[in-house]
């Protein structure tokens, strides 16, 4: 930690420039460290000695010894209600149903070598396909979301014979070199040199405010779609359009017309539509898959994070059957290609979501989340807007509601204040407080989170009404 105090002003300025989320150093982090118990500080120091430092990661905030349900427990016994959870704890941490299924699988068949298959792998893939509307997909697995995005891009090239892909500025699709090429966030690209060619960026739905002075969703959608059409006409050779249907980090929800037009453009131009639902699928949006909110199907659907039930690293691509056209080459020649444990986790996760009716629960608790969020927004000028779908909500922190100027400093102070009170979440896009509670969250826990947030806003003397 001392070395962070020595960080040059220039480093800090650079980090502010690249700011996508909360920063690992700076005055808020420094203060946070000051209040940590000695034992925790020592462990954090040991962590720093052995891990490479990186933005939004190491050095870490705290040391945990347990994660269960919606809670993290740190090494001093402090509990955090975790509304971040890397967006993977849809069924809650250490879900006993998932853990038991994985343990059983571990004892029975723990690995499936390439060229062999097993019932559990067929079952997991089939369950994912059965959850789609058309059931017209084939599947590939990969341990990481980034790897799955890479496979999706390869499939699009092979299926269309075209190399170029349109993705969105400010987007994130993983941290590998191919994934950062299609991603639009500066913090992942800085100092990385040449990117994969043919990656063209379009205007994401969430950038509308800077570009057209309208708050009408249909107008914004038309504006963004017109630009995509312009790229297709002027660039040529576009094989795929890749986007998160709802961006997990700031939760802008485009209207149905946006998706309908995207689908139409792709159909008219022989372009594959790829949806990255890695952090948002599995019921979080109030539908099992996010795109089911918008009545369109992608040609390729990318899943990850919660797919492994918060226990096993697991991702997948679902590809429309007509694009199963690469049998003579290796698309996803990965060691954990039909992963026994991951597949057991997928089956148990889906069974648990169904058994506990978690998709419907996300919808209902989502309504409560929106009502509470709107009421909070009414009481606090510093909350410029809330955006919500299912059990995902973003609170946009602004200097005041008239100018809507983002207030990254306040967002960060609120984050640390809430962490001190035992509520963990993420700051995204510099000034968005983003909650992704698990789908097993209770109404009481949501109320607790709102109470903490309001208490901290008062402590920070934020701009109230
Ligand atoms: C939208 C999106 N795509 C891709 C990824 C990459 O997944 P992974 O970290 O498993 O490689 C993430 C991870 O945060 C993500 O949020």
Task: Give me the pLDDT at residue 56, please.
Answer: 82
Ligand 1, residues at Cβ distance < 6 Å: 144-146, 149, 172-174, 244, 248, 276, 278-279, 304, 315
96-355 is classed CATH 3.90.550.10? no
What SS3 string covers 365-394? Answer: HHHHHHHHHHHHHHHECCEEEEEEECCEEE
pLDDT attached to residue 23: 66
The whole-number pLDDT of residue 345 equals 98
Distance 122 CA to ligand 1 centre (A): 24
CA of 303 to the centre of ligand 1 (A): 9
In this prediction, residue 10 carries a pLDDT of 44
Q: Ligand 1 mean position to 86 CA, how many Å?
A: 9
Close Cβ partners of 402 (under 8 Å, ≥ 6 residues apart): none
Nearest CA to ligand 1 atom 4: 173
pLDDT at residue 462, rounded to an integer: 66
pTM exceeding the 0.75 threshold for the entire prediction: yes
Domain definitions of the chain by residue range: 2-93+358-459, 96-355
The minimum-distance atom of ligand 1 relative to the CA of 171 is 1
Nearest residue (CA) to ligand 1, atom 1: 173
What's the pLDDT score for residue 8? 38
Strand order in the sheet with 199-202: 137-142, 315-320, 300-303, 272-276, 238-243, 164-168, 199-202
The ligand 1 atom nearest the CA atom of 244 = 1
Q: Could you tell me the distance, in angstroms and rounded to a whole number, from the CA of residue 439 to the centre of ligand 1?
A: 19
pLDDT of the residue at 3: 44
Whether 109 contacts 118, CB under 8 Å: yes
How much is the pLDDT for 11?
A: 47
CB 304 within 8 A of CB 339: no
Task: State residue 464's pLDDT score.
Answer: 61
pLDDT of residue 21: 63
| CATH number of this structure's domain 2-93+358-459 | 3.90.1150.10
Residue ranges of the chain whose pLDDT lies below 50: 1-18
Question: DSSP characters for 423-464?
Answer: EE-EEETTTEEEE---TT--HHHHHHHHHHHHHHHHHTT--B
The answer to whether 4 and 60 are in contact (CB under 8 A) is: no
């Amino acid at each position: 930690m001392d070395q962070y105090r020595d960080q040059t002003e220039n480093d800090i300025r650079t980090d502010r420039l690249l700011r996508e989320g909360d920063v690992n150093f700076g005055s808020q982090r420094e203060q946070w460290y000051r209040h940590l118990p000695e034992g925790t500080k020592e462990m954090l120091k040991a962590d720093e000695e052995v891990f490479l430092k990186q933005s939004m990661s190491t050095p870490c905030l705290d040391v945990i010894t347990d994660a269960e349900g919606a809670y993290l427990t740190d090494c001093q016994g402090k509990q955090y209600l975790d509304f971040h959870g890397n967006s993977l704890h849809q069924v809650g941490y250490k879900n006993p149903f998932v853990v038991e299924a994985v343990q059983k699988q571990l004892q029975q068949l723990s690995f499936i070598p390439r060229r062999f298959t097993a019932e559990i792998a067929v079952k997991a893939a089939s369950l994912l396909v059965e959850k789609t509307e058309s059931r017209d997909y084939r599947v590939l697995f990969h341990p990481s979301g980034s790897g799955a995005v890479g496979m999706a891009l390869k499939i699009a090239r092979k299926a269309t014979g075209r190399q170029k892909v349109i993705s969105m500025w400010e987007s994130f699709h993983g941290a590998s070199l191919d994934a950062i090429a299609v991603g639009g966030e500066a913090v992942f690209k800085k100092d990385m040199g040449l990117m994969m060619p043919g990656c063209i960026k379009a205007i994401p739905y969430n950038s509308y405010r800077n570009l057209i002075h309208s708050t009408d969703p249909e107008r914004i959608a038309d504006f963004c779609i017109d630009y995509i059409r312009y790229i297709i006409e002027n660039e040529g050779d576009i094989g795929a359009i890749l986007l998160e249907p709802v961006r997990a980090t700031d939760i802008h929800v485009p209207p149905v017309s946006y998706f309908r037009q995207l689908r139409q453009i792709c159909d008219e131009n022989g372009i594959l539509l790829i949806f990255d639902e890695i952090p948002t699928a599995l019921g979080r949006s109030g539908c099992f898959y996010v795109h089911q909110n918008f009545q369109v199907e992608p040609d390729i659907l990318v899943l990850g994070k919660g797919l492994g039930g918060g226990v096993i690293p697991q991702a997948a691509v679902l590809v429309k059957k007509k694009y199963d056209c690469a049998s003579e080459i290796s698309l996803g020649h990965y060691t954990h290609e039909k992963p026994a444990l991951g597949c057991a986790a997928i089956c148990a996760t889906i069974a648990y979501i169904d058994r506990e009716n978690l998709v419907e629960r996300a919808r209902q608790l989502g309504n409560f989340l929106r009502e509470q969020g709107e009421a909070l927004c009414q009481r606090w000028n510093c909350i410029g807007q809330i955006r919500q779908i299912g059990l995902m909500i973003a609170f946009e922190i602004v200097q005041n509601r008239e100018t809507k100027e983002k207030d990254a400093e306040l967002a960060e102070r609120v984050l640390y204040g809430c962490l001190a009170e035992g509520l963990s979440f993420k700051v995204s896009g510099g000034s968005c407080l983003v909650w992704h509670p698990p789908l097993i969250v209770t109404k009481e826990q949501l109320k607790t989170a709102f109470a903490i947030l309001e208490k901290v806003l008062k402590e920070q003397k934020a701009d109230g009404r």
